Each structure stands twice: as C-alpha cells, then as structure tokens.
Amino acid sequence: MFENLQLMAFTAVQNYKEAISDTLGAQKGFIGDVGDNFGNTIDTITKNATTIGFALAALIIVVTAIIFFSGDERSAANSKRKWISVFVGIILLVGVRFFVNWAKGQAQQNFGS
C-alpha cells in the first residue's frame, strides 16, 4: 500500500513538473502565439456567455409560461412578446458562437505558431 502511495505521489509530482514547464514554455512564446491565446480567451468567454444565456433563456421561458397559463389576456400577450425576444436572443447566441469559432480558426491559422 505504501508503494502505491509513493508511486501516486511521484506521478503527481511529474505531472506538476510537466504542467509547469508547459506553462513556462507557453509564456516564453506568448508573442508568437497571439492567435492561439487570443482565440482561446475569446472562445472561453463566449462559451461561458452562451451557457449563461441559455440558462437565462430557459428561466425566462419557464416563468413566462407560468404567467401565460395563470394570467389574463394581457399577461398572455406580454408572455408571447417575451418568448419572441428570447428566441431571437437564442438565435443571436448561436450565431455569435459560430462566428467566434470561425474567427478563432482564422486567428490560429494566420497568427498562431
């Protein structure tokens, strides 16, 4: 059992050393990897924004559905308008995501190392 723990600790240290050397190597080549770094940063931001956007859209749809079925005609009309806005927002989120993937590929192709 002690040998297994020792092997696990040694493997963890080796993985840590490799991660540090990879990180330092990436920092040394930062100027040459502008396309990769910028592309990855934008990609991460849009992934998070897309996740948050879809979660908010789902929440708005659920809340407006409750209002639609429990309210009067005026609240039903308002709910329909909000649904249209949500679906337009979802289309924009998907469009932005496709654009960012395309732009990331262009940045990596033209400016990456």
**Looking at residue 34, what is its pLDDT?**
53
Is 75 within 8 Å of 86 (Cβ atoms)? Answer: no
In this structure, what token pair is assigned to residue 27?
């920092």
Q: What is the mean pLDDT of residues 58-85?
A: 91
Distances (CA, A) of 32 to 29, 46, 112: 5, 23, 7
Residues 43, 24 within the same domain: no
In this structure, the answer to whether residues 89 and 104 fall within a common structural domain is yes
Are residue 89 and residue 51 in the same domain, yes or no? yes
Dihedral class, residue 112 (left if φ above 0, else alpha if ψ from -120 to 50, else beta) = beta
12-36, pLDDT tens digit by residue?
A: 556 655 655 555 555 544 444 555 6
Q: Which domain holds residue 53?
A: 34-111
Q: How many domains does the chain have?
A: 2
CA distance 24 to 42: 21
Look at 30-44, 53-67, 79-93, 98-112 and tell me which has the smallest mean pLDDT: 30-44
Asked whether 97 and 46 are in contact (CB, 8 A), the reply is yes
Structure tokens at 106: 């262009």
* Higher-confidence position of 112 and 110: 110
Take residue 60 and report the two structure tokens written for it.
Answer: 């708005």
Instruction: Give the pLDDT score at 2.
Output: 46
Give the integer Cα–Cα distance in Å for 68 and 58: 15
Per-residue pLDDT at 101:
83
